[in-house]
Amino acid sequence: MDLMNGTQVTVFVFSGLTDDKKLLPFLLILFSLIYIISIVGNIGIIALVYNTSKLHSPMYYFLSVLSLIDVLYASIITPKMIFDLLLVNKVISFTGCALQFFFYSALAASETLLLSTMSYDRYVAICHPLHYMSIITTKICLCLVSVAFSIGFLQSSVQTSCTFSLQFCGSNLIDHFYCDVLPVLKLSCANTFYCNMITLCCVGIGTIIPFPTIIFSYMLILSTVFHMTSAEGRKKTFSTCSSHLICASVFYLAFFFNYLCPPFSVSSRQDKVASVFYAVVTPMLNPLVYTLRNQEIRRAIEKAMHNPTSADRVSSVIAHKLGTMLSLWKKKDTTCWSGGM
């Protein structure tokens, strides 16, 4: 879809996931299930941590914040993507596109920084257990989480203001299913060099700082584990760390493939598949991995299932959160997404 030169674009149109109409019912059911599992699983972890005194520790505080990010992160893209599967014209307003990208970028960067924070927490707990409570205090936890969110939203503000202050006077067809920075920049009729450099720097902040922190932390953790004489101690340590390591590995692999692969080496279809995994599937994996791999979480779930009062508290928290999200979703101005369609 092309517009006349000199006319600023007011709406964008997504190409969508696929043109194969036979796949649409399957994709609609699949992504609806993924979204429901993501929301219920992550809110369930938040409720479980909140209602279980044994989980009131820095490790699970960080986990509950990660689950909160995943709830918001999934809700930025997935509902719109599911709704678009039912439409022929997948339209989003200029403002709606900017808002989607802003929150998506902010939460993604916050998650990368939080994952590195969680690796530091595991390093202190395993390598300096006697000083753990004096190092990872409640104040430090709040500061680390605040820094992760602050950097995430700051870099997103810079990216969003740079990208959406450009002129868009040509095609308004985004070859994607959501407003990602690279497909949007391709549509600009202005010089995008500085915005590309800013994007590169912001992506670097999301990888160069957190990723080496995770690698270095786990190198020190492995060194400590291999010097343990107790096989039971090594097993418990691996059990504690494996959940976080799996979640971080999955997230970063998808992140690297999505943003750091050379553009000429990845087709549009491959890019969309990677984006689906990165933006839609990953928020579902975190609660599943922690439920399957973490013994404390499993025990807390079993206790909640066998304790009617505890189970009722958890289910009521989940129901309340889902009800709040549903009411907010219904009240949302649909013109922000549809551009008055």
Question: In this predicted model, what pLDDT tens digit does every residue of 179-212 receive, in sequence order?
Answer: 999 899 999 988 999 999 998 888 877 777 788 8
State yes or no: pLDDT of 311 exceeds 60: no
Q: Which residue has the tokens 């922000």?
A: 336
Q: In the numeric block, which tokens belong to residue 243?
A: 């959940």
Judge whether residue 66 has pLDDT over 50: yes
**Residue 332 CB neighbours (<10 A):** 11
pLDDT of 57 above 80: yes
Residue 92, token pair as written in the block = 């989003």
Structure tokens at 80: 């719109």
Task: Write down the pLDDT at residue 102.
Answer: 96
| pLDDT number for residue 206 | 74
Is the pLDDT score of 18 beyond 50?
Answer: yes
- How much is the pLDDT for 105? 93
148 close to 115: Cβ distance less than 8 angstroms: no
Most confident range, picked from 29-38, 255-264, 296-305: 29-38
pLDDT of residue 249: 83
pLDDT at 257 over 50: yes
Q: What is the pLDDT of residue 3?
A: 44
Mean pLDDT over each residue of the chain, to the nearest integer: 83
Give the helix/strand (H/E) hosting 198. helix 193-208
DSSP 43-84: HHHHHHHHH-GGG-SHHHHHHHHHHHHHHHHHHHHHHHHHHH
Q: How far apart are CA 78 and CA 57, in angstroms?
A: 31
Task: Answer with the residue of higher pLDDT: 138 or 319.
Answer: 138
Q: What is residue 340's predicted lDDT score, i.e. its pLDDT?
A: 44
Mean pLDDT on 311-329: 55
Instruction: Give the separation between CA 296 and CA 52, rounded to whole angstroms.
Output: 10
Give phi and psi for 92, each to the nearest 5.
Answer: -140, 140
User: What pLDDT sits at residue 256?
Assistant: 74
Q: Residue range 30-44: average pLDDT?
A: 93
**Facing residues of 12 across strands?**
92
Order of all β-strands in the sheet with 11-14? 90-93, 11-14, 173-174
- Contact residues for 280 (Cβ-Cβ < 8 A; gap 6+): 31, 34, 35, 74, 77, 78, 81
Q: Which amino acid is at 292?
A: L
Residue 16 pLDDT exceeds 50: yes
| pTM across the whole model | 0.84
Residue 267 has pLDDT above 60, yes or no: no
Please list, residue by residue across 284-309, b when 16 or more beta carbons sit within 10 angstroms of its beta carbon and e when fewer do.
bbbbebbbebbebbeebbeebeeeee
Average pLDDT over residues 316-340: 52
First to last CA, the chain: 16
Q: How far is CA 113 from the centre of its chain?
A: 11
Query: Which of the residue ranges 47-56, 171-180, 234-243 would you say has the lowest mean pLDDT?
Result: 234-243
Q: Is the pLDDT of residue 4 over 80?
A: no
Task: Write out the CATH class of domain 11-328.
Answer: mainly alpha
Model confidence at 64, in pLDDT bands (50, 70, 90)? very high
pLDDT top residue among 28 and 300: 28
Helix ranges (DSSP H) in 227-281:
231-259, 268-276
User: Closest Cα partner for 287 from 28, 63, 30?
Assistant: 63
